[in-house]
Amino acid sequence: MNNKLQVALAQISPVWLNKSATIEKVESTITDAAKEGAELIVFGEGLLPGYPFWLALTGGAEWDTTVNKELHAHYVRNSITIEKGDLDGVCQLAKQHKMAVYIGIIERPIDRGGHSVYASLVYIDSLGVIQSVHRKLQPTYDERLTWAPGDGNGLQVHPLKDFTVGGLNCWENWMPLPRAALYGLGEDLHIAVWPGGDHNTKDITRFIARESRSFVVSVSSLMSKSDFSKDTPHLDRILENSPKVLANGGSCVAGPDGEWIIEPVLNKEGLIYQTIDFNRVLEERQNFDSVGHYSRPDVTQLSVNRERQSTIKLTD
């Protein structure tokens, strides 16, 4: 039954900007998914420890202010440093339950000095090994005030039963060339992660599925005004301008024909399950395969730089 894969979409809210509490919630969700036989679980963009909603609510572009500095520092302190073992518990659960994991984190990597943060999509295989960390290539609009731009190192795909799985963060899914890079690597199960909102998922999910003739799993987080942690710096200013709902979910699944398998699920926290069949990929590739029989590499080709970028290169 290698052609069948049980996928769990984890549409949950973070314990906002609380690293340890959100890790506990993620681990509990993985345990719950294991009881239902999930073989792949997906969490939304930046879920751990949360999306920087304060930027749009507190004048995030104001220069050299105490509010922005203190909120940014709080964010960095609660971000994830993989090299220090922050994801070890998640990896152990993946191995224990033989479950692959895609999770969106705010990464604070040592190889970039340890003080800047990136919106990263991490793939952990069913042996509990981190196989790729994709740092978002281009943060979107106000995200650039707190997230640094990533590199191509994480443009990778991974074998998962009969499938070849890859993923992108949020509006990267609108970027034709990163999509094409994953298609060219053989992707047939595309993971799209979002901070939340059917305004993001309702169109692009089906479009990518139809373009690539792949399954597309879009997973969004939830966030409401009541989810802001009480220990957040300048919480009163955030709440003053916050709407009741900041992210309404919108997690969904489209098949290789571009049609809905699960339409966007709104305002509902929990796990959404779907079993997908690899044979559907082969059926839909019969008449269109953008990197195979329907491509012309003699006319157009894509060059991809997957070198991990760093400010220094050391020779000892």
255: domain CATH number is 3.60.110.10
Distance CA 28, CA 34 (A): 10
Report the pLDDT value the prediction gives residue 209, as an integer from 0 to 100.
98
Q: Which domain holds residue 254?
A: 4-284
- The helix or strand, by DSSP H or E, that contains position 123, with its residue range, turns out to be strand 118-124
Structural domain contains residue 264: yes
The residues with which 285 forms a beta bridge, in sequence order, are: none
In terms of DSSP bridges, do strands 163-169 and 189-194 run parallel, antiparallel, or are they unpaired?
parallel
Structural domain contains residue 110: yes
The residues with which 191 forms a beta bridge, in sequence order, are: 167, 217
Cα–Cα distances in angstroms (integers) from residue 268 to residues 135, 196, 224, 247, in the given order: 28, 12, 12, 11
Structural domain contains residue 306: no
82: which DSSP letter? G
Cβ within 8 Å of residue 186, ≥6 positions away? 157, 164
Report the pLDDT value the prediction gives residue 295, as an integer from 0 to 100.
96
Structural domain contains residue 298: no
Structural domain contains residue 23: yes
Distance CA 252, CA 261 (A): 8
Give, for all 316 residues of the chain, the pLDDT tens digit: 899 999 999 999 999 999 999 999 999 999 999 999 999 999 999 999 999 999 999 999 999 999 999 999 999 999 999 999 999 999 999 999 999 999 999 999 999 999 999 999 999 999 999 999 999 999 999 999 999 999 999 999 999 999 999 999 999 999 999 999 999 999 999 999 999 999 999 999 999 999 999 999 999 999 999 999 999 999 999 999 999 999 999 999 999 999 999 999 999 999 999 999 999 999 999 999 999 999 999 999 999 999 999 998 889 9
Nearest C-alpha neighbor of 78 from the set 19, 14, 143: 19
Structural domain contains residue 18: yes
Cα–Cα distances in angstroms (integers) from residue 18 to residues 52, 93, 163, 230, 266, in the given order: 13, 20, 34, 10, 24
Distance CA 193, CA 9 (A): 10
Report the pLDDT value the prediction gives residue 226, as an integer from 0 to 100.
93
Number of structural domains (the chain) is: 1
Cβ within 8 Å of residue 300, ≥6 positions away? none
Distance CA 218, CA 200 (A): 9
